[in-house]
Amino acid sequence: MSKVQILKKLRFSNVFILLLIVLISCALLICINFFTIKILSANRAYVNGESHYSKGQKDASRHLLTYLFTKDSNQWQLYLKELKVPQGDATARIMLLKVGDNETSRKGFLEGRNHQDDLDDLVWLFVNFKQVSFLAKAIHEWEQGDNLISKLFVIGNQIDVKIKHNILTSAEQQKFLQEINDISDKLTINERNFSNTLGEGTRKIKNLLIITNIFFILIIVCSFSLYYSIMVKRLIASKKEIEIKNDNLLLVNHELDRFVYSASHDLRSPITSLKGLIDITLLEDDVNQIREYLNLMSQSLIRQDQFLSDIIDYSKNKRKQIIIEPVSLHELFDEAISQVMHLENAKRITIKKELLVDEIQSDGLRLKIIISNLLSNAIKYSDSSKKNMFISIKTYIADGFNTIEISDNGLGIKTEFIEHIFEMYFGTNKNKGSGLGLYIVQEAVENIKGTICVSSENNIGSKFIVTFPNQNGI
């Protein structure tokens, strides 16, 4: 592996690691915020539950005191009803400590007048965080409060028994009054401590959340900054590479221009020799010999002219921009046929056309190059020894692709030559072609995003199949 490839791989790894860090940081940030919000929501539910607990206890104490002095049984029922609120919370606490989340603990929270939608948060926080310092302290205050509620319940039963048996004395009333007030005062302290503990825990969680958010945001910002720096460097490097490639392309185009210019002039040099042949011909009296000279001159000029055409097609195919437009295959084939009729044996060949596709969207210049070269080759390599020479032209749609099929019964291509026929300057017979035609055809086919394949048998004939998409633009 080259140093350049290793450096590119390392740069890719660095970018991947940075993106991975950003993704992990974002995922952790989302999770932390989600659980933090869930904890804060549960704390809010506990504080709200404490208010119901406190109100239930105070209302129960008030009704018990009223019952103590009025002996009204309705006050006793109201006392029992209100006392169920802190008793329900006590049941929930005990069950969560013993067996965890179950139906009894949830029912206890509902009896404590907690909202149905808060039950999941209440249970989740207790089960998972009961060992955390602030919640453990709050649970301890809660337990002490429950013990006082139990004492209040015992005192209530004692009062109820004495009232129902009509044995309650004034001294006992004052004694019970003092005990109830003492319990209420202690419960008030417990309830305040419970709320303060949860409030303190909430503040700590909030501060921790702020610090955590800042930490992960800094990681994300730093990662994006590094990523941006790397991408800017890569863009600058890419720009330099593009500039180098553009310079190389300019050089290649310049050399290509020189090649076309030189070739077009060098290939006309045989004209000087032809002038000599003409001079000889003028001195020749034998008509048959003169005709032979003229035929040689004509063939030489045709080959040179074809060579020039191939070079021009090569240049156009390399440099001309691909233009997608409506193209008529009928018109392209008619034009191409008319241009190759001057070739040897062209008039003896029967051309069969079966054009099932005509109007398409493609590059007209490339299609013209493809069709002209394939028809020209079919005529050049025709087998004049055969009585019925033919070229078959078909257009159709196969598997959603436009298809051009040109077959003949000419000389065919030897098996060992087939894999080389699309190479530049390769020719099975240098006297019949320049060796550029099929090379240009293949490049033109690639430019229109198509494929070309050939099947051929020596002395039997050849078939070229070009497939390409119907394009609305590139």
**Among candidate residues 445, 380, 440, the one with its CA nearest the CA of residue 408:** 380
Query: Mean pLDDT, to the nearest integer, of 457-467?
Result: 92
Q: How confident is the model at residue 153 (pLDDT cuts 50, 70, 90)?
A: very high
**Strand-pair category, 401-408 with 461-468:** antiparallel
- 441, 369 contact by CB (below 8 A): yes
pLDDT of amino acid 311: 61
Query: Mean pLDDT, to the nearest integer, of 58-72?
Result: 91
Q: For residue range 400-419, list pLDDT tens digits in order.
A: 899 999 999 999 888 888 88
- 213, 29 contact by CB (below 8 A): yes
- 107, 81 contact by CB (below 8 A): no
Tell me the CATH architecture of domain 322-468: 2-Layer Sandwich (3.30)
**Among candidate residues 227, 53, 16, the one with its CA nearest the CA of residue 142:** 53
pLDDT of amino acid 254: 62
pLDDT of amino acid 2: 45
- 386, 356 contact by CB (below 8 A): no
pLDDT of amino acid 175: 93
pLDDT of amino acid 433: 53
Which structure tokens are listed for 426?
A: 């390769």
| Confidence check: pLDDT of 267 > 90 | no
**Residue 420 identity:** H
Between these two residues, 232 and 426, which has the higher pLDDT value? 232
Q: H or E stretch including 259?
A: helix 170-266
DSSP secondary structure string for all residues of 395-422? EEEETTEEEEEEEE-SS---HHHHTTTT
Give 3-state DSSP helix, strand, coil % of the chain, rounded to 5: 70, 10, 20
CA dist 463 and 474 (Å) reads 29
Q: For residue range 81-106, list pLDDT tens digits in order.
A: 999 999 999 999 899 888 888 899 99
Q: How confident is the model at residue 161 (pLDDT cuts 50, 70, 90)?
A: very high
Q: For residue range 328-385, list pLDDT tens digits in order.
A: 999 999 998 988 888 888 889 999 999 999 999 988 888 988 998 899 889 988 988 8
Q: How confident is the model at residue 10 (pLDDT cuts 50, 70, 90)?
A: very low
**Strand-pair category, 390-398 with 350-355:** parallel
Give the total residue count for the chain: 474
| Confidence check: pLDDT of 209 > 80 | no
**Strand-pair category, 324-328 with 359-363:** antiparallel
Out of 146-150, 249-253, 338-342, 396-400, least confident range: 249-253
